[in-house]
Chains A and B, each alone.
Chain A
């Protein structure tokens, strides 16, 4: 599982993060005093989260494909809990919630771990989709029925289905690459995280023109351009850890950055609709798991299917 390329990537990441931590610490100490610059403070908390990501992914990789599946199952669980906390529900939805947490989530990850890619890609969109409203209607409470069912299904699709495509990348049979497919998960995470932080930094340097009036003010054209540029640049530079050549890596990272950006906007719109600032409080200083994973969740299925179609054998 631990491939030489993975080790050198992790070493590189640790060096980069150490440098980033030192620079941010130095800025805080001598340049901008603690708590005065939102830019520095945000970067500081981001860097801490990246450390956690590197440690978690390396640990998971150490335990092989199973470790990665367990890691993403836990992340799915945390994200689903945040999502379903905010969705519309009534007392009659208890069975539906039990089904989501205790049946749909474990089954989906069991299918991934067993490598049943066909079943994994239809279980939630077909079977859970049709079964869940039946379970809801059995309890006999029809007020707000469609809203309740639809919002729960959204949670299942995003937090379980879409998220599970990241570990599923490990089961694609890519010629000369399958044994180091964990690098593809690392690549996806790096590209999306870089795009994410560029979206935050770019408007503060280049000014801001909002994309749409009602979406959160942090979503600007400058942010979009910055996110796609930085995501694409980094994704292309890292072509050597992917099954792609340089121009393919460029196209793929541009796609992933764009889709991820769209995901961040969508999740922001849901937060605004529900009247909350963050999805949760479990990651200190940055809200919940969904706040950090929204763009990964959106881009993982797209990456999975593009790679499956163009690169995977059989």
Chain B
């Protein structure tokens, strides 16, 4: 009881903080902020990425949207576990296939969250992109989700500038303006193979980066 109240308060505090620092703006280009079940798949450059998406989503969407995150990072200590599990209600994924227990299949966990009615925030690159290329190759998770739950909207979501606010290894964020662009949803075609679908999703996300301010 106390814990869940604290989680709500901390959630609001974090959202307010990121709004003050980055004055974020949501650009809905080809999709609308309506309560449909969705998987927002985004580029990943910073640990605060999903917080930013969370902060620009309207409250009625935010409450029902859960990030998919790595358990090795979010269960490292009690503070992170509180943030990850209670505040953000993250779907925690074990990234190491060797160490996975029977019930830790990532796709099964994401499907379970979708079937419980949640929308997801997913970073299909699988890790933070610290290179100069705008977007890395996608892992196959998005494809499995698309195939198993073809009715869910897959919304490409481009996060701009957050990596300048807090680059990897830095502690203090600097206030720069960030934008989050939501593009037209992608769906899997009947019988589409993995490579072609992932390529299409990748291109849809990359196209938003090039659109920029527009």
Q: Using a CB–CB distance below 8 Å, which chain A residues touch chain B?
A: 77, 81-82, 84-85, 89, 91, 94, 97-98, 101-102, 275-277, 280-282
Contact = CB atoms under 8 A, between A and B. Distances in A.
B174 A85 contact: no
10 contacts: A81-B175, A81-B176, A84-B174, A97-B164, A97-B174, A102-B172, A276-B213, A280-B23, A281-B25, A282-B23
A80 to B, nearest CB: 8
A85 B212 CA distance: 13
B19 to A, nearest CB: 11
**Secondary structure dominating the interface of B:** loop
Nearest to B22: A81
B96 interface: no
A98 B174 contact: yes
B177 A280 contact: yes
A94 B170 contact: yes
Interface of B: 23, 25, 161, 163-164, 167-168, 170, 172, 174-177, 212-213
Contact of B174 (A82, A94, A275, A276): A94
Given A85-B161, A275-B212, A282-B23, A91 B167 contact: yes
B213 A85 contact: no
A214 to B, nearest CB: 20
A65 B177 CA distance: 30
A87 to B, nearest CB: 10
Given A91-B168, A97-B164, A101-B175, 5 more contacts: A81-B23, A85-B176, A89-B164, A94-B170, A281-B25
Contacts of B177: 81-82, 85, 280
Contacts of B170: 94
A82 to B, nearest CB: 6
Nearest to A96: B174
B73 to A, nearest CB: 20
Nearest to B27: A281
B24 to A, nearest CB: 10
Most A CB within 10 A of own CB, among B25, B163, B174: B174
Contacts of A280: 23, 177
A102 B161 CA distance: 19
A280 B176 CA distance: 11
